[in-house]
Amino acid sequence: MPKTKVVFLPDDVKVKVSRGQTILQAAAKAGIMLRGACGGGGSCGRCRVQLRKGGLSSAGTGKLPPEESEKGWVLACRSIPEGEVEVFIPETSRLVEHRVLLDERQSGLLAATAEDFADTAPLFRRQVVKLAAPTLADNRDDGGRLLWALEHEYGIVNTRFSRQVLADLPRTLRESNWQVAVELAAVDGFFEIQGVKPTTGKDPVFGLAVDIGTTTAAVELVDLETGEVVGTAGTYNRQAAYGDDVITRIIYAAEMPGGRAKLQEAVRETINGLITDLINARQIDRNDIRAVVCAGNTTMVHLFQGLDPTFIRLEPYVPSVNAPPPVRAAELGLEVNPTAWVYCLPGVASYVGGDITGGVWVTRLSATEELSLFLDIGTNGEIVLGNKEWLMACACSAGPAFEGSGVSCGMRAVPGAIEAIRVVDGGFEVIYNTIENKSPTGICGSGFIDLLSSLFKAGVIDRSGRFVQGLQTPRVRGGEEGNEFVVAWAGETGNGADITVTQADLQNLLRAKAAVFAGVRTLLASLGLELGAVQKVFIAGGFGRFINARDAIMIGMLPDVPLERYKYVGNSALKAARLGLLSQKAWEEMKKIAGRITNVELSVGNKFMEEFVSALFLPHTDVTLFSSLQKG
Amino acid sequence: MPKTKVVFLPDDVKVKVSRGQTILQAAAKAGIMLRGACGGGGSCGRCRVQLRKGGLSSAGTGKLPPEESEKGWVLACRSIPEGEVEVFIPETSRLVEHRVLLDERQSGLLAATAEDFADTAPLFRRQVVKLAAPTLADNRDDGGRLLWALEHEYGIVNTRFSRQVLADLPRTLRESNWQVAVELAAVDGFFEIQGVKPTTGKDPVFGLAVDIGTTTAAVELVDLETGEVVGTAGTYNRQAAYGDDVITRIIYAAEMPGGRAKLQEAVRETINGLITDLINARQIDRNDIRAVVCAGNTTMVHLFQGLDPTFIRLEPYVPSVNAPPPVRAAELGLEVNPTAWVYCLPGVASYVGGDITGGVWVTRLSATEELSLFLDIGTNGEIVLGNKEWLMACACSAGPAFEGSGVSCGMRAVPGAIEAIRVVDGGFEVIYNTIENKSPTGICGSGFIDLLSSLFKAGVIDRSGRFVQGLQTPRVRGGEEGNEFVVAWAGETGNGADITVTQADLQNLLRAKAAVFAGVRTLLASLGLELGAVQKVFIAGGFGRFINARDAIMIGMLPDVPLERYKYVGNSALKAARLGLLSQKAWEEMKKIAGRITNVELSVGNKFMEEFVSALFLPHTDVTLFSSLQKG
């Protein structure tokens, strides 16, 4: 389908959209939330933008005054670009203020691709090798000839054959006239030669980056020759049937007969389902998937590999292994090429896993001069503090609320999820934006941060997160489980039911944000540091496509430091898995980082529980910690 | 069963025999052939020996004069030791003269056992490891703790876990109170941790040394903790059904549908049969066999591993691989512990395999100052010439005659095989000795050398190996396939049939000896050397328990150099496999030797065929090459 490029100013964000799509749709794709109360009907006039360059095949101006439309002002929801355009978006048209939108697409972190690793190579690759044909004067064995050439002509050392490849090597070499593609898998310091093939014909080579979260799992299908992400899929982890958090799953694995095997099967089937979706949609042969890199917390990695997680939850909290060895896909039952190696990013401790090592690497925190904080907010919240000199980490149990689980109207950040919300007019009106502008079916993490902040600001809830009594709005009503707030009425939603948030949901969200903040405070305090010492804050997690840092500070989840210190990095574990797949060097660096991080047990000799209880208010019992809110 | 030690003088050979066995039986076990025409009846008086130390529970003196019996002379066939004894054997009582008996037990090479490698370790071993229990201050992962201890407290580096071992590691460590036996397999420069087990209870650990010959296969079951050979078994290679020599088998593998797989199955079943015999006889669990080292010629290794052997026989004679990688037993279908690694000794070229590398190492030829010759005479004859400075090798096709195949009355060197023969009285009388003094059922390699030599000396055959016409002896008669010679009459044999050697058999034996001699001459000539330049000659092969070097020279198989230069090393390939199994250092040295040997193709630009034709006489067309025979 022909594409059109749209550049949004002043952000200078570029997107390509299909011809015929509106500027509103292009902005949504770029992660820029425009106001649009009338639902794209052109009647509310809130989505006005200014065309600065290029032309429009259709220009909607609605009720805009002529002096504005003459200067290029149009309604984004009714205007369709013709060719490349540049469009300016004023603050007044944005659903959320420009400065606090921490879009991962603007953090520059996504720019890291295979091209950044031109000096290295993926964990699986093909090397074309030209050999001299044997003669009576040089009748070395075929295997020896190939290894010699790899070492002396291509600089590839420490190579090993498998028997299967050797079995038919002589015929392949002769039929290919001594020029072949050698398939190399990097495994723990050596290269396994997995195949030797004719160079005629083009076999695609794919890898998988897998993020195994406690609540959700995501898979990226990556072209290992170009580094491109060919497709992405995500879903809930089927292990949820056996418990919401890692502790209940460890107990299930340890105490139920066959429990460990059931949990292993559940995550295997979760991933296999995503693989099948990805390959079916693209008619890809699953045997062309030749390497898999997984990122997950320590418990998830244990359960994925079938290791005993029992002692992760018992003092002194010891995992079976932090850096599990590569395992064949066939051994784990992953439905890709059975000879593919499955690598798990190396972890640090029972509650600081390989996903965190990956996050630290992706953010380059471990290479920075400034004191930096990394927060990965999933079902567990992990926190890393440090710089290029030292790295400390700890974990706190945040619960899955921000991943859209454990909250009645929660959902993953997929089309139809409400990802940005403003409650205005004292709770009478709710403005929201959904992913891909689909009719809403639930709320994802970034939406919940907005919601909590907005409800508090609008006076719908009090500092303890409880509904204020006697409000004159139909949106607050008695529900089956106490009071609830209607975010979207059945008439607007994609499933014909009201989207509501209950008192119990609010308490879950409050506990989640309190755990994160308490963890940050405790880790800093253990080093005698104040919140203000932090120069950079990297936020990772499955909130959605961005988070509003200002709102996250307002609810007391994130420390009250200047907004420009924040960067949202999205699913850094998945990114790390992808880059590890594409770069042996990245992989080696992550191993080094895992060895550098010192783990701090929050349960041991510190004040985490005390901090947690203090943080169960909006924004906090100690409001002096959030002094910028007083001014604003 | 209680054992008694017998020391034979002047050889100083020691054996242990069961109580109640005669001195004759003890001598046979020691490989010393005594005369015994009456079959142990005490009537011929030929097996007289002198008791020098110790006592006898039964002393047979037969018709010995009293002055002899007073000095301790007894008949070996009628005397039974009581406790440890020393017995002197005079030359007159030996079936074959002492000086030419090249018994492998006298060569000192068998002395090499695990004790010689105290500074190294077997390819599979158990290491007891004591760990510090984790605390909150030191809560490393279990796997990391174990690897750390192996490296820092036991000096074992480059270790790797398998997933299966990690899966239950935490429980094992805790139930064993942090003291465990770690099972380590050395694989290509690293150690695979195959198991971590409690130290309570004693699991035996075995390895297999396997000699895969073209005609015969032999397996030694080795206790990997003591280095002791627990049992030995041998049989014919079932591949013989698909062809007698490597060339016909390569053609079968290359050209028959499924041929390669059938040949692989045949050798696998051959070895599995031997394994089953060994473990059933000793009630050993096959899962306790944890490592397998195989020695074989290049074609045998290809067929065992299922590699394509096609180009071994086509100019320029290129094998798939000389140094095949270790393969899991499960992948090859060997019925031992499925995780056991199967290692093949590294070879040199298409016709100089790992069995020869092993032989060179066992004889220490590659470390000697003197110019030495190594001959391995099996179905193929391989020859290595060199010293610690340089090593050259070539191969010639000798045929399986000396392994007891391709000759009508041939058999392997097992109980009942005639292993030494003297034809006396112009062909009227045959004196022979069988292994374990069982009734004869056939003739093994060492017997054939004696037979050829004796028949020639007695005037039964002429220089071209043909029966002399008009002999007045019933032993030469017309048979179904021309003339034949009766070695043993039906009344003496173990199967009620005459043991005969036909004219065709004699021609096969002649061709075999000619190929060996022609190979030696050609290799020496290619370097401008004469036979006399050779300072040491090591003879390996499946002849039996010894060969009579004097007879081998007499028939023109071995070069006419002083007898003291000869050493018989028996099945050096099997010994090398065993020592490689017991010593990582031995294994590493064999890899180096394989890299040092230069291969010479006999078919290329030299005079092998000319030499072969000249050698088809007894001893040779050029009798000046055997000048010592003229004097003797």
Is pLDDT at B117 greater than 60 in this prediction? no
Domain definitions of chain B by residue range: 3-94, 124-198, 206-344, 398-570+602-632
B169 and chain A in contact, CB less than 8 A: yes
Return the DSSP state at B94. Answer: B
Is pLDDT at A192 greater than 90 in this prediction? yes
Which residue in B has a C-alpha nearest to residue A168's C-alpha? B308
pLDDT at position B194 is: 95
**Mean pLDDT for chain A?**
89
pLDDT tens-digit series, residues B132-160: 999 998 999 999 999 999 999 999 999 99
Task: Give the mutation candidate from B135, B138, B141 for the A interface (greatest A CB count, under 10 A).
Answer: B141
- Cβ–Cβ gap A323/B169 under 8 Å: no
DSSP per residue, A183-202: EEEEETTEEEEEEEEESSS-
* Helices assigned H by DSSP within B71-207: 142-154, 163-167, 169-175
Highest mean pLDDT among A48-57, A174-183, B74-83: A174-183
Report the range of poorest mean pLDDT among A275-289, B112-126, B335-349, B454-468: B112-126
Is pLDDT at B382 greater than 90 in this prediction? yes
A310 and chain B in contact, CB less than 8 A: yes
pLDDT at position B31 is: 64
Task: Give the mutation candidate from B145, B147, B166 for the A interface (greatest A CB count, under 10 A).
Answer: B166
pLDDT at position A108 is: 47
Which residue in B has a C-alpha nearest to residue A315's C-alpha? B136
pLDDT at position A118 is: 56
Nearest Cα neighbor of A525 from A383, A399, A353, A629 is A383
Do residues B77 and B27 touch, judged by C-beta distance below 8 A?
Answer: no
Task: Give the mutation candidate from B311, B357, B597, B606 for the A interface (greatest A CB count, under 10 A).
Answer: B311
Which residue in A has a C-alpha nearest to residue B167's C-alpha? A307
pLDDT tens-digit series, residues A514-546: 999 999 999 999 899 999 999 999 999 878 777
**Mean pLDDT for chain B?**
89
pLDDT at position B63 is: 82
Mean pLDDT score, A233-257: 91
Which residue in B has a C-alpha nearest to residue A331's C-alpha? B163
- Cβ–Cβ gap A308/B170 under 8 Å: yes
Is pLDDT at A112 greater than 70 in this prediction? no
pLDDT tens-digit series, residues A195-204: 999 998 778 9
Q: Backbone phi, then psi, for B6, in 5-degree steps? A: -125, 130
pLDDT at position B100 is: 42
| Reported confidence tier of residue A274, pLDDT bands at 50, 70, 90 | very high
Percent of chain A residues topping a pLDDT of 90? 64
Is pLDDT at B295 greater than 60 in this prediction? yes
| Reported confidence tier of residue B124, pLDDT bands at 50, 70, 90 | very high
| Reported confidence tier of residue A98, pLDDT bands at 50, 70, 90 | very low
List of chain B residues whose C-beta atoms are within 8 Å of the C-beta of residue A323: 141, 143-144
List of chain A residues whose C-beta atoms are within 8 Å of the C-beta of residue B317: 136, 139
Give the ipTM. Answer: 0.83
Mean pLDDT score, A54-62: 87
Question: Based on the number of CB atoms within 10 Å of its own CB, is B138 exposed (0-12), middle (13-18) or buried (19 or more)?
Answer: exposed
Q: Strands B476-479 and A429-434, how do they pair?
A: unpaired
Mean pLDDT score, A430-443: 87
Cα separation, B67 vs B65, in Å, equals 6
Sign of CA dihedral B508, B512, B517, B522: positive
B135 and chain A in contact, CB less than 8 A: yes
Cα separation, B619 vs B463, in Å, equals 7
Mean pLDDT score, A55-61: 88
Higher pLDDT, A245 or A179: A179
Cα separation, A297 vs A213, in Å, equals 7
B575's enclosing H/E stretch is helix B572-582
Name which CATH class applies to A3-94: alpha beta
Report CA A293 to chain centroid distance, whole Å: 15
Report CA B27 to chain centroid distance, whole Å: 20
pLDDT tens-digit series, residues B469-486: 988 889 999 988 889 999
Whether domain B206-344 has CATH 3.40.30.10: the reply is no
Is pLDDT at B106 greater than 70 in this prediction? no
Within this chain, domains B124-198 and B206-344 share the same CATH topology? no
pLDDT at position B343 is: 98
Residue B467 CB: number of other CB atoms within 10 A? 20
pLDDT at position A117 is: 54
Is pLDDT at B403 greater than 90 in this prediction? no
Q: Backbone phi, then psi, for A231, in 5-degree steps? A: -170, 160
Return the DSSP state at A138. Answer: B
Q: Name the E strands within A29-106.
A: 48-58, 73-75, 80-88, 101-103
Mean pLDDT score, B539-566: 89
pLDDT at position A422 is: 87
Is pLDDT at B410 greater than 60 in this prediction? yes
| Reported confidence tier of residue A114, pLDDT bands at 50, 70, 90 | very low
- Say whether pTM exceeds 0.90: no
pLDDT at position A30 is: 73
The CA-CA-CA angle for residues B315, B373, A141, to 5°, reads 30
Return the DSSP state at B387. Answer: -
A505's enclosing H/E stretch is helix A503-526
Report the range of poorest mean pLDDT among A51-60, A307-316, B257-266: A51-60
Highest mean pLDDT among A215-224, A292-301, B619-628: A292-301
Name which CATH class applies to B124-198: alpha beta
* Helices assigned H by DSSP within A478-563: 503-526, 549-554
pLDDT at position A148 is: 96
Which residue in B has a C-alpha nearest to residue A328's C-alpha? B163
Smallest Cα distance from A306 to chain B, Å: 6
B63 and chain A in contact, CB less than 8 A: no
Is pLDDT at A101 greater than 90 in this prediction? no
pLDDT at position A370 is: 95
Higher pLDDT, B425 or B463: B463
Q: Beta partners for B206?
A: B223, B289
Residue written as token pair 């305090």: A525
